[in-house]
């Protein structure tokens, strides 16, 4: 397993729409190794999610996991989830604003509106079809990561930039929020 280098904002790979993974190649050694590396990289940098383009692979692969996370001490755990070629749609119009950060936009947080509940269709790492709904923080992370597959960063989803905050100021002024 390898820790991969994370693409930072400004790298064009983060702005390209990604290619779907051919379903037949999901179980290939190359893709399985890539998924393992993506998981290891997410854990190494205390991310709650990571998408292919963030490690310079323009592929529709996303991993999500929340254990005890020092970057997000207040959020509930999410078991390790691998989504390949995800299709995400809102289940209703309800939206909620909350803080987000991104390993590709280091040291910055901002409040982003997201749908509270989404339906997700995707393949898992065995190639099986998944179809489930998610809400609250899990739904937020799914929307953030699937945006990466379209070349969208969380900053693009902020209607106003007035909450854009460096981490030191976040801790100083907003940490108890
Ligand atoms: Ni991100």
Strands 105-115 and 165-166: antiparallel
Both tokens of residue 128? Answer: 């099986």
Q: What mean pLDDT is predicted for residues 111-139?
A: 98
For residue 173, the CA-to-ligand 1 centroid distance in Å is: 23
Choice among 57, 65, 100, 145 that is catalytic:
145
> If residue 112 lies in a helix (H) or strand (E), which one and from where to where?
strand 105-115
Q: How many angstroms separate the alpha carbon of residue 115 from the centre of ligand 1?
A: 17
For ligand 1, the distance from its centroid to the CA atom of residue 86, given in whole angstroms, is 16
Give the tens place of pLDDT for each residue, 16-56.
Answer: 999 999 999 999 999 999 999 999 999 999 999 999 999 99
Q: What residue spans define the domains of the chain?
A: 12-174
Distance 138 CA to ligand 1 centre (A): 14
Q: How far is the CA of 14 from the centre of ligand 1 (A)?
A: 10
User: What is the CATH code of the structural domain delimited by 12-174?
Assistant: 3.90.45.10
* Residue of 86, 146, 85 lying closest to 115 (CA atoms): 146
Tell whether the model's pLDDT for residue 152 goes beyond 70: yes
Which pTM was predicted? 0.95
Computed over every residue of the chain, the mean pLDDT equals 95
Output the pLDDT for position 69.
67
**Mean local confidence (pLDDT), 116-133:** 98
pLDDT at 144: 98
- The bridge status of strand 78-90 relative to strand 105-115 is unpaired
What DSSP string runs through 123-166? E-TTS-EEEEEEEHHHHHHHHHHHHHTTT--GGGG-S--TT-EE
pLDDT band at 67 (very low <50, low <70, confident <90, very high): confident
Residue 145 catalytic? yes
Which of 14-23, 64-73, 93-102, 166-175 is least confident? 64-73
């Amino acid at each position: 397993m390898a820790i991969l280098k994370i693409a930072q904002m400004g790298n064009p790979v983060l702005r390209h729409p990604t290619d779907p993974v051919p379903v037949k190649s999901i179980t290939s050694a190359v893709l399985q190794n890539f998924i393992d590396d993506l998981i290891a990289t997410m854990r190494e940098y205390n991310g709650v999610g990571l998408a292919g383009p963030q490690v310079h692979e323009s592929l529709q692969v996303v991993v999500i996991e929340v254990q005890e996370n020092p970057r997000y001490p207040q959020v509930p755990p999410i078991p390790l989830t691998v989504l390949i070629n995800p299709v995400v749609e809102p289940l209703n119009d309800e939206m909620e604003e909350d803080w987000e950060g991104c390993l590709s936009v280091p040291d910055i947080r901002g409040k982003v509106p997201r749908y509270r509940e989404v339906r997700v269709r995707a393949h898992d790492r065995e190639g099986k079809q998944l179809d489930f709904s998610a809400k609250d923080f899990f739904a937020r992370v799914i929307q953030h990561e699937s945006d990466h597959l379209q070349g969208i960063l969380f900053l693009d989803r902020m209607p106003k930039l007035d909450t854009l905050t460096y981490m030191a100021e976040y801790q100083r002024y907003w940490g108890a929020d």
